[in-house]
Amino acid sequence: MPTHKQARDRIIQLRDEINYHNYRYYILDDPEITDSDYDRLLRELQDLEQQYPDLITPDSPTQRVGATPLETFAEVKHRVPMLSLGNAFSEQEVLDFDRRARERLGVDVVEYAVEPKLDGLAISLRYEDGILVQAGTRGDGTTGEDVTLNVRTIDTIPLRLIGHDYPKVLEVRGEIIMDKAGFEKLNQSRREQGEKEFVNPRNAAAGSLRQLDPRITASRPLSFFSYGVGELVEGELPDRHSAIIKKLQDWGLRINPETQVVKGVQGCLEYYRRIQDKRAALPYEIDGVVYKVDPLVQQEQLGFVARAPRWAIAHKFPAQEEMTEVEAIDVQVGRTGALTPVARLKPVFVGGVTVSNATLHNQDEIDRLDVRVGDTVIVRRAGDVIPQIVSVVKSRRQGRLHKFKMPEHCPVCGSATERLEGDAKTFCTGGLYCEAQRKEMIKHFASRRAMDIEGLGDKLVEQLVDSALVHDPADLYSLTEAQLCGLERMAQKSARNILAALEKSTDTTLARFIYALGIHNVGETTAQTLSQHFGSLQRLMATDEESLQAVPDVGPVVAHSIVTFFSQAHNREVIEKLIAAGLHWPHVEIKPEDALPLKGKTFVLTGTLTRMSRDEARAALQARGAKVSGSVSKKTDYVVVGENPGSKAAKAEQLGVEILTESRLVQLLE
């Protein structure tokens, strides 16, 4: 078991990696790692947070389902959260899942509704009085993207329900997919037109649904399968999941013909083997099967964990493997400056697609595999774009092949690279200067929780960088109306709005500014702590690692990251340009201990607050020295309960943690 410090450092690293891969997967539709790798990172983070509950924060990937919605679509608020499922990769994990369910329910056998796990895009369809009024993507589980106009073009989604006994409001959950034949036909057309091909049906379905022009979506071979229900108003549903699915079919919604009910865990495993055998013959891609406890009353008894229901699990199929050769190892530089080695492979057909790249993650992974240029390797693909190298076939190694070592200088900007103690990744120290990090750095700088520059979305940032108008965040503040109007699809009114938003963002806070700089390992909470501790940017920039480690929750790794960032001349130059551009913030008063009445107290917020937002409540508590956590544990002092609280309120009662109403919180703050 790692020490508290080791766990904290590893948790910080895991959260950065998972958040980045969430962005690549959900927002860009261009993943860099396989599902199995992502699951491994998330499971490691879950295990560490379970061992050290006090390290759980509200912004942890385990506290949410997924990633942020695209700015180009309107938002959809899910009244009933769209949760993802836990994964099982072996029969033993399925047996454990069934055992836990039986023990909690106090029964000998559980009946399960079982179905193939489709490889597509989760969607929510809202019907009011039987008419489709809204469609939204999963997004982060509570907020998704409004894709109603695009969804209306899909033939397998009824615009009006059949019959008359449907509820006044019915929210249908399901999956939008592109079948294998449609996928091949679409790619053939794109090849003929000289366009980039989609890498797999899931990627094609997601890209087709996220088109701004519904006519493009209408031209794509998309289809839909329903698998559940979210919100329900003024109506009744059967008391079993399988019967609800049949009811959806009666109302005109498509369901998967492979759906059925089995008894006990052996029935689940037999179904798994049967579907696996016919996987290649199915007209659509699947990556496993799903088991759901069938009786709703038992689902309610089992309840939920933070990220998934206890009454359902996805049983993934094993990865598919092939043999090929490593032709080269290149190094890519990401937004955070992380250097990622990528193996360039002799093209090989694996799991339904031709692959030629495999991420090697870091130097430790390369050393573990002992992979070298010229080696024959076994490549595994688990339904993703980029596969992983499982092992090296050393019996086929010929001659003396050189071991690979990460470069000492960034391959993009030439800055020195470094690998911190306890960190698996190698990083470029270029910070605000490195061209590879430029676009993502500016996107982060402009994001809502950083400088909050409204209207400065991803596409505009990319245009500004590609047109050489912006080389670092400070260049944003020297943009002119004429320059903006010269960009594609930028009218005068929009340009003026951007300039107004930039001007507004100059009046900020020290904590936001520190966070906006994108210092490795420095998130919102750490930025707030640094602001309160040092009181000024100058004091923070001048401090050393030893002094930084005196700050609460700042260890040697974070301290080293901060000192390294501010020691780079080009980073300091950009900061000076930002200050010269007019960025300013109120004076931060360093409060003595007796001015922090809630110091040492841990709060958890749940439900909707009416007199202030959750962010405002969090800021007010932190200003008084309190720590605000995202989960309830024995170390929690107070749980603040608003309207429609979640499971945190029940857990607080179970643990005997004191519960505060919003009125009591206001009194406490005053």
Catalytic positions, written as ranges? 117
554 near 526, Cβ under 8 Å?
Answer: yes
How far apart are the C-alpha atoms of 55 and 27, rounded to whole Å? 27
Amino acid code (one letter) for 431: G
Contacts of 226 (CB under 8 A, 6+ apart): 125, 172, 173, 174, 245, 248, 253, 254, 255
Give me the DSSP letters along 49-91: HHH-GGG--TTSGGGSSS-PPPTTS-EEE-SS-----EEE-SH
- Widest CA span of the chain, in angstroms? 76
Q: What is the per-residue DSSP string for 595-635?
A: G-TTTT-EEEEESB-SSS-HHHHHHHHHHTT-EEESS--TT
167 vs 130, 157, 236, 244, CA distance in Å?
A: 8, 18, 7, 12
Q: How far apart are CA 211 and CA 557, in angstroms?
A: 42
List of E strands, 238-368: 260-263, 286-293, 312-316, 320-333, 338-350, 353-359
CA distance 16 to 397: 36
State which amino acid sits at residue 279: R
3-class DSSP assignment, residue 518:
coil
For tokens 């409540």, name the residue: 617
> Order of strands, edge to edge, in the sheet holding 602-606?
627-629, 602-606, 638-641, 658-661
Chain mean position to CA 428: 24
**Cα–Cα nearest to 263, from 115, 106, 111, 107:** 111
HEC string of 216-227 equals HHHCCCEEEEEE
Task: Give the 3-state secondary structure of residue 544.
Answer: coil
DSSP 146: B
Give me the sign of the Cα torsion angle 377, 382, 385, 386: negative
**DSSP run (H or E) holding 4:** helix 4-22
Buried b (16+ CB within 10 A) or exposed e, 506-538: eebbbbbbbbbbbbbbbbbbbbbbbbbbbbebe
**How far apart are the C-alpha atoms of 362 and 560, rounded to whole Å?**
20
CA 22 to CA 29: how far, in whole Å?
Answer: 10
